[in-house]
Structure 1
Amino acid sequence: MDDLEDQGLPLTALAIAAGRAVETSRPDGLVADPFALALVEAARSHVDFPTSWPADPTAASPLQRPLLLASIYIAVRTRFIDDFLRSGPPTPQTVLLGAGLDTRAYRLPWAGGSRVFEIDHANVLEFKAGVLGRLSAEPRCELSTVATDLSRPWREPLLSAGFDPHQPTSWILEGLLPYLDAAAQLSVLKEVAALSAPGSRAVIERAVPLPKTDEVEAKLRDFSLQTGLSMSEVLARADPPDPADLLTSAGWLCSGYSVQELCAAYNRALSLDAPGLPAPSQEPASGQSRGGFVTALR
């Protein structure tokens, strides 16, 4: 099999799967994903992603340390969204926007008749289906995949796949908004609101707004030079819409959760050194780049 980049798959999707594999290997794991390791191994990436929690994480190499730290955040995020889906009355439909290598359709218990829609690029969905097919894995719900680009209009492909806007829906926006520019984020959120029948709900990972300071502008210029992205493209992500504001104005009931709150709830520190929690008044440095989460009920 060709390596990940040759397949055109995003490294971020693989990194998240690797994070779930690491968490699954932990004796105190917040998430059990029996498919994550196979997805990482099948990609044969040139990046040496960790897939298990080391006996001494503080001795990890300089490359592995940030990846292990990322796995802690991925574990907390994944468990929070899993718990959201398991709480409250189930909706007949669930839509994962930017599903990536997510395996919730295969590993979570779903109520009878539940339908799950996964939206992402065709190559991502095809890669995942191929790996899971070779494992003889079967979804635990009625699964429909929708191959489309979420930075472009996606309502019609979703409707064509059988989505019913008159039925309550659970929406999952995990690791999506930070990768869209502000205009595309606004478009996605407005579409979610427009397609949601009463009784719908959503869990959304926020994009982080960038403060307009000289220091931040200088960092953005450096980032632009390093990545080859134009400054206008970088700045297009600088002032994202607030999902809570938008959905509240549309009549939804919203709640916000910081990364620090979720770390406390799941007794995890964003640190390789200390098993205990960080001080309640101090947000971990790695958490400062995160925007937290919004849950919403219509």
Structure 2
Amino acid sequence: MTEPTGSTELEGGAKFKDQGLPMTALAVAAGRAVETSRADPLVADPFASALVVAARSHLDLPTVWPAEPAEAPPLQQPLLLASIYIGMRTRFIDDFLRSDPRTAQTVVLGAGLDTRAFRLQWPEGAKVIEIDSANVLEFKAHVLSRLSAKPVCELITLAADLSLPWREPLLAAGFDPAQPTTWVLEGLLPYLDAATQRVVLEEVAALSAPGSRAVIERAVALPKTDDIEAKLLEFSQQTGLPMSELLARADPPDPVELLESAGWRCGGHTVEELCSRYGRVLSLAPADQSEPAASGPEQQPTPDQSRGGFVTAWLP
């Protein structure tokens, strides 16, 4: 579902097993590192930069916000621009997790290199279950252990492929479906086909006790136009993903419609709303600071973007 970086080396020269880390996980960690380095950071992630460095990716991933972002090397500019969005997304979900009513258990679907279990303050007795592929979870645990980082909650990691059935492994890992749960779906749905997105959302609804809540990053619905089809073809050629797989993602289910039909109360949040809330503009050019956020790139989604806005939901 995501592009690997190739074999990964940890500091000290030890080879990390499997075929490397998902490129998206490293790019998001780099985005959090860049946001953390800003003079006005929305997020403080003290581990993000170390995770990127330890991966030794062949890509030149930025981890610091430059003095003149518009003059950064052309290959880094899209990553710096993405870091603005990643910073807002991370802060929005952080704020949701810190808000009441909080739950005793939280499940992060597609956790990647997220470090909230280590950097946020959790209620006493809180349990966080992170689900992702084994190599991602093991790499993160290895690097954080080298940093002597300790989780601020009970942390359970579950190696599972979310495109396959995952209910039974979750229950076996210690998840209690009788207790209210906070679900985090950040950067996950855009990498699943539409049918699997629906299954994941239905599982969330089915496993949630009253008092549960969720924060969900939407997948972008791609309109059926010649321009979008051309972009999909270009993206397919760049990544090696077949067009059939990309088209399978083009008509995602609406999380609001699905969850409301299961009795949830939902709210929607656009990227423009986040820009206004957090004082950010999706641009690297200083001259654009006065332009409305709606002119940003989230209004013209491309196959590699996940800027469809967010859903927050509660189950009475």
**Is residue 5–residue 45 contact of structure 1 (8 Å, CA) maintained in 2?**
no
Q: Quick one: distance in 2 between partners of 1:154 and 1:208?
A: 24
**Residues 197-234 of structure 1: CA distance to partner in whole angstroms, max 9, x if unpaired?**
00000000000011112332333233333433222211
How much has 1:283 moved relative to structure 2?
3.5
Aligned partner of 2:312 in structure 1 is: 295
Tell me what 2:53 maps to. Answer: 41
Partner of residue 291 from structure 2, selected from 259, 278, 282: 278
Q: Does 1:90 align with 2:107?
A: no
Partner of 2:231: 219
**1:89 CA displacement:** 1.9
- Find the aligned partners of 2:74 and 2:17 in 1 and give their Cα distance: 23
Counterpart of 2:9 in structure 1 is 2
Write the letter of the residue equivalent to 2:241.
L
Give the alignment of 1:179-198 within 5 angstroms.
Answer: 179-198=191-210
Structure 1 residue 273, shift from structure 2 partner: 1.4
SS at match of 1:202: strand
**Structure-2 separation of matches of 1:127 and 1:292:** 29
Q: Is contact 2:271-2:298 (8 Å) kept?
A: no
Provide the residue aligned with 1:255 in structure 2. 267
3-state secondary structure, aligned to 1:239 = coil
> Structure 2: which amino acid aligns with 1:295?
T
Alpha-carbon distance change, 75 to 213 in structure 1, aligned in 2, over 3 angstroms: same
The answer to whether residue 286 in structure 2 is matched with residue 269 in structure 1 is no
Equivalent position of 1:177 in the other structure: 189
Spell out the pairing of 1:129-168 with structure 2 (5 A cutoff).
129-168=141-180
The one-character-per-residue Cα deviations of 1:70-120 (angstroms, maximum 9, x if unpaired) are 000000000000000001121010000000000000000000000000000
Distance 1:55 1:124, change over 3 A: same
How has the CA–CA distance of structure 1 residues 122 and 2 changed in structure 2, closer, same or farther, with 3 Å as cutoff?
same
TM-score (norm 2): 0.90
Aligned CA RMSD, in angstroms, stands at 1.6
Equivalent residue in structure 1 for 2:247, among 229, 235, 238:
235
1:13-49 CA distance string (max 9 Å, x none): 0011111111111110000001011101100001001
- Pair 1:188–1:296, CA change in 2 (3 A): same
Letter in 1 for 2:24: T
- Whether 1:26 aligns to 2:38 is yes
Q: Distance in 2 between matches of 1:24 and 1:132?
A: 17
Structure 2 residue identity aligned to 1:78: T
Question: Which amino acid in structure 2 is aligned with residue 291 of structure 1?
Answer: G
Give, in whole Å, the separation in 2 of the partners of 1:214 and 1:63.
27
> SS of the counterpart of 2:9?
coil
> What is the CA-CA distance between 1:130 and the residue it aligns to?
0.1
Aligned residues: 297
Question: Alpha-carbon deviation of 1:288?
Answer: 3.3
Q: Label 1:93 to 1:6 Cα distance change in 2 as closer, same or farther (>3 A).
A: closer
Does the aligned pair in 2 maintain the 1:270–1:287 contact within 8 Å? no
